[in-house]
Chain A
Amino acid sequence: MGRTKILGKWMLAAAAGSLVVAAACTPSSDDEGSSDGGGELTWAIGGAEAQPGGVDQKIAKLWNQQNPDNPITIETLPDEADQQREQQANVLQAESDEFDILGMDVIWTGEYSQNGWLESLDDVRDQIEPSVLEGAFDSAQWGGELWAAPFNTNAGFLYYRTDLIDQPPTTWDQLCQMAEQAGQKNGIGGLIGQGRKYEGFVVNWLEYYWSAGGELYNEDNSEVLFDPDIATQTTEFMQQAMDDGCFAPGFNTATEEEARAAFQTGKAVFMRNWPYAYQLIQDEGDPEVANNFDIAPLPTFSGQGTISALGGFNNAVSAYSSNKDAAKEFVVWASTDPEVQKMLATDASVPPVLTSVYDELQNEPDMALLSKVLPDAKPRPPAPTWNTISVEMQDALFPAYNGDGDPADASQSVADAFNESVE
């Protein structure tokens, strides 16, 4: 009696349970993911421009108009580069053909090619090389082979307040003098950059290091040229700048956005940032800042020339794509088509890689400055071990410039990391 009743109740519960489960099953959708036959292309790219309304979407539309046989759709990845890489890695490690074209940060080239994830683009090299910026093109190569087609680039600017200083500085020491003077006079900070413990800090540090004459590798990345002495001087400079107020408060917790927020609310005399901030400050900044700022090349220690770090994105073809020919055509087109590259600049304020666009848009101040700065912009080596080195640099140099470690020891750790990378 008890047993049947129990069983009966259990059956009822089980039946009810399965009904609920059935109702809770995933809604079916049309795009099942990896159906990639029939000439369709999938472009896996992240960032603001990949969202609906962004310039990447417009580019995709343009391609579809011109190439109805090989329509492309964008698979929108997250905003942060690390997360984009993670999602791409998941798909690529599974050797899936879900993604045909990969939007890659410039520093991933070596890693992706080493993992066998990319299709070599050496056969279309000649279609790209002559018309794009050299630095951008270099970032798409690894081991002498071309693995990606440059898409957009980026370089660091010095933003400064025209109402607080007369002439932009040409040396870092000059900058610090001006920053401290003008800052104290007006009760605001000096220079705000990206000093938080992340990749952006490495970029900032490298800009100081390079402008002091330092190098990382030789031409073909086979030999380490990292100079611990220059590195120590660089770190000591940053440490000094933190101590005596050349760096604005909050320098060591700021990423690009915090820096922009500080500058555009009038809390700093100088800012180091990418070109994207130029338009935003004019649109959103406090009126006294929006009307009184300008851009200039980053200073160096010697006062000669300028150096900035090279950023940007490249497009690569997945080695597992089922549509490689069309994919290759797309990446070449995105790289060299004048209309596309111009769209990047005009619609999104994203620096293009096609040199002819810079001639065309000379009258825009940010484009003019870019054409001045880009030839001297230095890329971080797109080595497979770059992330490891970068993390080591962050671990060693961040505490050092904050007074929590010895700059010389830190530089030596970094040198060791570089040396290990070529063993």
Chain B
Amino acid sequence: MAEVATESRTLSGPGPGGRRPRTKGVSEKGLGRLFVTPAIGLMVLVALFPVIYAFVVSLRAYTGRQYEGFAGFENYSEALNDDKFWASLQFTFTFTVISVGAEFIIGLGFALLMNQAFRGRGITRAAILVPWVIPTVIAAQMWFFMFNVNPGFINSALGLGEFNWLGESGWVKFAVIFADVWKTAPFVALLLLAGLQTIPTDVYESARVDGANAWQRFWHITLPLLRPAIFVALLFRTIEALRVYDLPQVMTGGAFDTESLSMVVQQYVVKTPDPGLGSALSTITFTIILGIGVIFVSLLGRELVIGRKDQ
């Protein structure tokens, strides 16, 4: 609300907040609503309905696929009492933190590199995007094939004999995280690269003239001005990582505590269907992820709506 007032004051000078006499007909506020309507409309229509449906279903009891009656919150207590749920939560969190952290660092490095002017940069940029472009299921199978003891691709490349990457607790997690970082660091790089474009070069010029070295320029200019792009990249990567499914499913089948939240949900919706429990788990998952998303948005998202104040 405060942001709205500030905006209209800077843009239209003193005057009634919101109404802009300059544009005939549609007011800015109305225009704003008009612009947002198609997006909201589409999302509500397609996404809201199933969410509500799933929530309603989560309040019912089922035996297998047969509807048995109203269950209230029984499904939720069953889900929260399930060891499997907590184990998958732990793995999913660990996976997310490590994965997104690594992707951010590597992605930032890639973005900075891709931004440089050097010969062959086009090919380098394309090369960096390749991992992300490959469908996840294929990438998962590929990494399974490479990590697995038979035929032992990575083992023979590194001379490790018969090391059972995917069959040892701990190393399995490493393999899954490694595959994920390989696959999605380019996504982060892409977003950060686009973000780097919005930083005007004369800012660097004046800093250079003032005697700042490369590291200082990076730390005091690049990073702060990149904040919005970093925010978007981190937010969406975190959300995606919390919902990881294909990689652990294909590489490990959930063995050695690598079962993710989505895999547990999938199990109760498809493999051993119990619509009530599956929907309850989905709603719980959704709430957790939403909570994390809200934290992100409120901590870092202010800038999106206020805009950049400095140059």
Contact = CB atoms under 8 A, between A and B. Distances in A.
Interface in A260-282: 261-262, 265, 267
Interface residues of A, number: 37
A197 to B, nearest CB: 4
Contact of A115 (B23, B65, B253, B254): B65
Contact of B167 (A3, A250, A261, A267): A250
A184 to B, nearest CB: 13
Interface stretch (A360-368, A374-382, A383-391): A383-391
Interface string B151-183: 100000000001010110100000000000000
B271 A197 contact: no
Contacts of B26: 3, 6
Nearest to A86: B270
A395 B84 contact: yes
Given A196-B255, A197-B252, A399-B256, A391 B267 contact: yes
B272 A196 contact: no
B149 interface: yes
A89 B275 CA distance: 13
A114 interface: yes
Interface in B182-229: none
Contacts of B149: 249-250, 253
B72 interface: no
Interface in B64-104: 64-66, 84
B255 A252 contact: yes
B308 interface: no
Interface string B262-306: 000001001111000000000000000000000000000000000
A140 B256 CA distance: 35
A387 B167 contact: no
A387 B252 CA distance: 19
Given A250-B148, A252-B164, A384-B64, A398 B255 contact: yes
For the residues of A in contact with B, the DSSP-based class is helix
Contacts of A82: 270-271
B84 A197 contact: no
A258 B150 CA distance: 7
Contacts of A252: 164, 167, 255
B24 A253 contact: no
Given A197-B255, A252-B167, A265 B24 contact: no
A159 B94 CA distance: 41
B25 interface: yes
B25 A3 contact: yes
A268 to B, nearest CB: 9
A197 B253 contact: yes
A2 B150 contact: no
Contacts of A267: 150
A229 interface: no
Contacts, number: 76
A249 to B, nearest CB: 4
* Interface size class, chain B: 20 to 34
B261 to A, nearest CB: 16
Contact of B271 (A265, A387, A399): A387
B151 A2 contact: no
A338 B253 CA distance: 40
Contacts of B166: 253
A388 B256 CA distance: 19
Contacts of B162: 189, 249-250
A249 B23 contact: no
Contacts of B25: 2-3
Contact of A250 (B23, B150, B256, B267): B150
A87 to B, nearest CB: 11
Nearest to B251: A253
A391 B253 contact: no
Contacts of A251: 167
Contact of B64 (A2, A111, A198, A395): A111
Contacts of A249: 149-150, 162, 164, 167
A254 B148 CA distance: 9
A387 B23 CA distance: 65
Contacts of B272: 387-388, 391
A115 B66 contact: yes
Nearest to A389: B272
Interface in A73-124: 82, 86, 89, 93, 111, 114-115
A114 B64 contact: yes
A2 B23 contact: yes
A78 to B, nearest CB: 12
A253 B164 contact: yes
B148 to A, nearest CB: 6
A323 interface: no
Given A197-B252, A395-B84, A265 B64 contact: no
Contacts of A391: 267, 271-272
A70 to B, nearest CB: 31
Contacts of A93: 65
Interface in B15-42: 23-26
A402 interface: yes
A253 B148 contact: yes
Given A86-B270, A189-B162, 4 more contacts: A2-B25, A114-B64, A192-B150, A258-B150
22 contacts: A2-B24, A3-B24, A3-B26, A6-B26, A89-B65, A93-B65, A115-B65, A115-B66, A197-B253, A197-B255, A250-B149, A250-B162, A250-B164, A252-B255, A253-B164, A253-B166, A258-B150, A267-B150, A387-B272, A391-B271, A391-B272, A399-B256
